Amino acid sequence: MTSISTGTLPEDDRPEPPERGGEREMLDGFLDLQRATVVYKATGLSDADAGRRLLPSLTTVAGLIRHLADVERSWFREVMDGEAMISYRWSDEDPDGEFRISEKDTLAEIIADYEKAVAESRAVQLRHSLDDRCQGREARFTLRWITVHLIEETARHIGHIDILREMLDGATGE
């Protein structure tokens, strides 16, 4: 458990998307950059700061990362692959469940779960072409659509994490 935030971002070892290549390589490269940026922006925060609420909503760095893990599982495993019975932190009774962070939650565990969700998503991506239609509840979409949507969704939440991180410990950077 980390108790003090560093106030700095770690060494930047995020993957660079290709400057040239096919559509698949470009889309996967930009999604992988966004995924790595989630972890990069959170690294160095204490567990307490990662779960600290600075807004009237339940939004926290840790909650946003949990949300993104559930989003990865929902879109790739459930919607794209048609997998049933995936466990999410949200529910009809608690639509913001993934944002509920307790003192028992550690940022390291939350990041590890996110990285696991990303690995699960990559496995699904490898099984399909960009034009493959979803096998789950949203059959009108393709893997291409989901990939573009996840780039957008992840990047939007990185912006939230950016702002929260600066407010929490002053760390800024690309």
Q: Considering Cα of 98, then 101, then 104, then 105, what sign does the dihedral take?
A: positive
Contacts of residue 148, defined as CB under 8 A and 6 or more positions apart, other chains included, come to 27
In CATH, the number for domain 29-169 is 1.20.120.450
Can you give the pTM of this predicted structure?
Answer: 0.95
d(CA 139, CA 135): 6
List pLDDT tens digits, range 37-53. Answer: 999 999 999 999 999 99
d(CA 82, CA 136): 4
The per-residue pLDDT for 137 is 86
For the chain, the 3-state helix, strand and coil shares in percent, each to the nearest 5, are 55, 0, 45
The per-residue pLDDT for 2 is 63
List pLDDT tens digits, range 65-106. Answer: 999 999 999 999 999 999 999 999 988 999 999 999 999 999
Domain ranges, ordered by start, for the chain: 29-169
| CA dist list (Å): 80 to 33, 64, 70, 111 | 21, 22, 14, 23
Neighbours of 126 (CB within 10 A): 8
Q: Find tokens 């990285």 and name the residue.
A: 115
pLDDT, averaged across the chain? 95
